[in-house]
Chains A and B, each alone.
Chain A
Amino acid sequence: MKVLHGIPAAPGLANGPAFVLRPAPPVDLAEQRATDAQAEVARLEQAIAQAITLLETLQTRTSGALAEILAAQREMLDDPELKQGAGKLISAGASAEAAITQVATAYAQQLARLADPYLAARADDVKEAGRRIVAELRGSTSLLALDRPAILVAQDLSLAELVELEPQFLLGIVTETGSPTGHLAIVAQGLDIPAVVGLVDALDRIAMDATLIIDGSEGSVTLDPGAEQCAEVERRIAQAKSEQHALEAYRDQPGQTADGIRIEVFANVGSLAEARKARAQGAEGVGLLRTELLAVQGLPAEEVQYKLYTEIGATLQRPLIVRTFDIGGDKPVPGLEIPAEANPFLGWRGIRLGLDRPTEIFLPQIRALLRAAIQHDIRIMLPMISTPAEVEQARALIAQAAQELEKAGHALRPVPLGIMVETPAAALTLDQFTGLIDFASIGTNDLTQYTYAVDRTNARVRERAQPLGLAILRLIERAGQSGIPLAVCGQLAADPAAVPLLVGLGVRELSIAPARIPAVKQLLSTMTLGEMQTRAQAAIAASTWQEPT
């Protein structure tokens, strides 16, 4: 037995066999075939057929925009030009692996040159199709081969891989890289799957099918645990399940304090699957739809976006707050040219990018949202705002889009507009936005990072930021005094220590990971608003700040 330590990323316990996903070594493009050309072509054709079967299995698990992209990828695997091109290279002596990689790369380069960003993003699909075929040729493991309950151990998981995961087989996740506030942590929390990230050398230390216990709250991974320990963990998992069961009574109740003050409990989601989960967990709405998660394969076209927002709105039948694309140097989008920056967190991102490149990024999304809002309660939220002037500019663009749509015969409804409060500038001057916006939502992860000047992805300094520090509490208090309806949509909103302080400072909507909704509703019901206000004021008045226990 051996205990390894990583960074806790999503709470919960799991025990089970490891499924180790090793990164594929690069293909040697000069590799020569070992057999005769005819046999090599037969190998290639067999690999393509297997890749198609796997992709078809995956297609049945998805819907919406992702399913459409997979349909195109499946068509690429079966492409006659791809096969012919690879066949010619094989005749000239190349191995099937080298041939298919070269042809796929050539097509990817051709697509990447197209002016349309969505089409250019298909370049990644071609490369992905090539990789899938190579994986079959080599008989290597693919995420798609995860067909039994297991704890996934990987170097890192890309967003594209995360959406491929089959939650029913996924007991837990362990990765070598990653941060507690990264995409992986957010998705794992949303799906209620324990995760440990930043476990250095995990791939070297953990073998395929080794028995593991992972504790996502502690960030620990126990390798080859004894029978006694396994029994103990199983007992604790069963106990957690029964506690979850007890919370179910709160699931379908409205969020409110012990004295009946309404606090709306909304969900943060990034996909249709998460929206379904939010609804099932009793979310009173979606307080944050992260649309950049819908753009992992490239910015979707207006029509694709329109369908997706409509689909999510129809699933929810409740308020849906959509944050416009929050992309930038740290959140790259395939097919979208964004220059590398020395300081991406302080750079050309969020609304700054949207306002500067409206035709490409902002306007198609706004048109899709305004159209989807005819049928559903959709509200628009702007990311990374620091001044009222940015909102004025955005409003002008939204008015322009609305006018065009109305001219084209659409009977639009007024759509509420809000902002993310992620910069200290926005928090300190929120009252100046009165009349320009209908609501504001504090993104605590970014607000903490900008307030303490601490890069949250940098392990050396990460600990220096205090998510519940006095500086943050004062900023939230100031924002709460603006009179603008205030929400919190960062991870802090689900933290039991933070919830009473946030509500006590004037927050009236909490937007959290779907799995946490019943527990937060239960917590709200245990205190009156007055008690929460007293606690918040005590925290702010304390000259030496200590975390409440």
Chain B
Amino acid sequence: MENTVERTVVVGSKSGLHARPAAIFVQNAKSFQSQITLGKNERTANGKSILSVLALGAEKGDQVVLTISGGDAETALTKLVRLLEGDLG
């Protein structure tokens, strides 16, 4: 059954969603079946694409909206929120 969940998260990584934190996020996002998007202000990014995640330009302390839809949405949300809030380096 199609399931959509959404959560607003404050970016915890000290250097924002820079190269390494973005790569870690995207690698994790790819391990889920669900569609994953990240939104900041007016823009949205495909959570499985490092290019669109980097292009968001999210800094530490920025609010991003994580939207996930698909069979494993709940599990993905728990995992990805924890990643975004923590320090990815």
Chain A interface (Cβ within 8 Å of chain B)? 68-69, 71-72, 75-76, 79-82, 107, 110-111, 114-116, 118-119, 122, 125-126, 301-304
> Does chain A have a CB within 8 A of B51?
yes
Interchain Cβ contacts under 8 Å between A and B, 16 examples: A68-B19, A68-B23, A72-B20, A72-B23, A75-B23, A79-B49, A81-B46, A81-B49, A81-B51, A82-B51, A107-B55, A114-B55, A116-B16, A116-B57, A118-B19, A304-B18
> Does chain A have a CB within 8 A of B89?
yes
Q: Which residues of the partner chain A approach B15 to less than 8 Å between Cβ atoms?
A: 118, 301-304
> Does chain A have a CB within 8 A of B77?
no
- Say whether chain A's binding surface is mostly helix, strand, loop, or mixed: helix
Which residues of B, 37-57, contact A by the 8 Å Cβ criterion? 46, 48-52, 54-55, 57
Chain A residue with Cβ nearest B17: A119
Q: How far apart are the CA atoms of A98 and B31 in the complex, in Å?
A: 31
Q: Which of A81, A110, A301 contacts B18 (CB 8 A)?
A: A301
Q: How far apart are the CA atoms of A69 and B89 in the complex, in Å?
A: 13
Q: Which residues of the partner chain A approach B23 to less than 8 Å between Cβ atoms?
A: 68, 71-72, 75
Q: How far apart are the CA atoms of A303 and B23 in the complex, in Å?
A: 16
Interface string of B13-39 (1 = CB under 8 A from A): 011101110110011000000000000
Interface string of B62-80 (1 = CB under 8 A from A): 0000000000000000000
Q: Which residues of the partner chain B approach A303 to less than 8 Å between Cβ atoms?
A: 14-15, 89
Q: Which residues of the partner chain A approach B6 to less than 8 Å between Cβ atoms?
A: none
Q: Which residues of the partner chain A approach B26 to less than 8 Å between Cβ atoms?
A: 75
Q: Which residues of the partner chain B approach A76 to less than 8 Å between Cβ atoms?
A: 50-51
Q: Which residues of the partner chain A approach B19 to less than 8 Å between Cβ atoms?
A: 68-69, 71-72, 118, 122, 125
Q: How far apart are the CA atoms of A205 and B11 in the complex, in Å?
A: 55
Chain A residue with Cβ nearest B87: A303
Q: Which residues of the partner chain B approach A72 to less than 8 Å between Cβ atoms?
A: 19-20, 22-23, 50, 54
Closest beta carbon of chain A to B17's beta carbon, Å: 8
Q: Which residues of the partner chain B approach A110 to less than 8 Å between Cβ atoms?
A: 55
Q: How far apart are the CA atoms of A80 and B29 in the complex, in Å?
A: 12
Q: How far apart are the CA atoms of A165 and B5 in the complex, in Å?
A: 47
Asked if B51 and A114 sit within 8 Å, CB to CB, the answer is no
Chain B residue with Cβ nearest A83: B49
Chain B residue with Cβ nearest A103: B51
Q: Which residues of the partner chain A approach B89 to less than 8 Å between Cβ atoms?
A: 68, 303
Asked if A68 and B55 sit within 8 Å, CB to CB, the answer is no
Chain A residue with Cβ nearest B49: A81
Closest beta carbon of chain B to A276's beta carbon, Å: 22
Asked if B57 and A115 sit within 8 Å, CB to CB, the answer is yes
Q: How far apart are the CA atoms of A482 and B73 in the complex, in Å?
A: 69
Residue from the set B23, B27, B48 with the largest chain A CB neighbour count within 10 Å: B23
Q: Which residues of the partner chain A approach B16 to less than 8 Å between Cβ atoms?
A: 116, 119
Q: How far apart are the CA atoms of A309 and B74 in the complex, in Å?
A: 40
Q: How far apart are the CA atoms of A111 and B49 in the complex, in Å?
A: 14
Chain B residue with Cβ nearest A306: B14
Q: How far apart are the CA atoms of A82 and B23 in the complex, in Å?
A: 15
Closest beta carbon of chain A to B8's beta carbon, Å: 22
5 more contacts with CB within 8 A, not counting A118-B19, A122-B19, are A72-B20, A82-B51, A110-B55, A116-B59, A303-B89
Q: How far apart are the CA atoms of A26 and B55 in the complex, in Å?
A: 26
Asked if B54 and A111 sit within 8 Å, CB to CB, the answer is yes
Kindly list the 10 A-B residue pairs having the minimum CB-CB distance in the complex, ordered from nearest: A72-B19, A301-B15, A81-B49, A114-B57, A75-B50, A68-B20, A75-B23, A72-B23, A107-B51, A303-B15
Q: Which residues of the partner chain A approach B54 to less than 8 Å between Cβ atoms?
A: 72, 111, 119, 122
Q: How far apart are the CA atoms of A23 and B14 in the complex, in Å?
A: 39
Asked if A79 and B22 sit within 8 Å, CB to CB, the answer is no
